[in-house]
Amino acid sequence: MELRALKKKNLQEMIREQIKRYILEKGAERGHPLPTENEWSKRFGISRTAIREALRGLEAVGIVETRHGVGRFIRDFNFEAILNNLPYSLEKDIKNFKDILEIRVCLESSFIEKNIDKFTESDITEIKNILAKLERQVLRHSGEGELIETHTEFHTALYRHMDNALLINLIRIFSTIQRNLWSLHRYRTRNRRKFIEEHKNILDAIVNRNPRLARERMMEHFAEPIRWVMAQKNRGKGGDRA
């Protein structure tokens, strides 16, 4: 397979795709050793340096792992590497932030509606305690970073009993991105009384076991940040949450 004619900007992507195809065609599983850089180089007819960079890219997304002094092996697939890289790739781009925010709204509103009957009294007590903590922070005018941290606690508590680690991790990543937006674009929660009221409304819907209302309350809660993102996208710069 000859790749020399490919443009440099496409080379890394093509090498990675060919290595992934090799893994699929071999039916290789976790722990299976991969060919050496020299073997890949001969197979593709390109330099070992290009191969090395492509393999590093596959390591970054959790497909390949390096065992120093031994070689490279197929890694057991998990979301860890992908999730760890999401904040870096999304945090500076308002459009990307809008996309992930819309995904989060759909996920959270759907999960809370579908699982409304699974909340135990212990779950509700924990959520109430976090909400009380959030309200105290608002009353004492805590910084945005502190609010974001407690806000994350509130939302992860809503889904902890559902045993869906990916959803919890996505919420935490969203919060990391939000914290960076606060730093880069001066994003902040302006109407803090409304902010608390929105969370009380979500909790009330849970207590009353009303799935449709819980979904509506969750979507209402995210309406303001979505408007903020759209305003920043239209202006092409950062600003305050309306």
Domain ranges, ordered by start, for the chain: 8-74, 81-235
Comparison of pLDDT for 69 and 77, the residue scoring more: 69
Q: Single out the residue of 17, 22, 24, 60 nearest to residue 39, CA to CA.
A: 22
Q: With a cut of 50, say whether residue 48 has pLDDT above it.
A: yes
What pLDDT score was predicted for residue 235? 72
To the question of pTM greater than 0.75 for the whole model, the response is: no
Q: Residue 15: CB partners within 8 Å, gap ≥ 6?
A: 3, 40, 44, 46, 50, 51, 54
The CATH code belonging to domain 81-235 is 1.20.120.530
Confidence of residue 238 (pLDDT cuts 50, 70, 90): very low
What is the per-residue pLDDT across 7-24, written as a single tens digit (0 to 9) for each? 555 788 888 888 888 888
Q: Single out the residue of 161, 170, 193 nearest to residue 108, CA to CA.
A: 170
What pLDDT score was predicted for residue 218? 94
Confidence of residue 84 (pLDDT cuts 50, 70, 90): low
* Domain 8-74 sits in CATH 1.10.10.10: yes
What is the per-residue pLDDT across 158-217, written as a single tens digit (0 to 9) for each? 998 887 888 888 888 777 776 766 665 566 677 888 999 999 999 999 999 999 999 999
Total residue length of the chain: 242
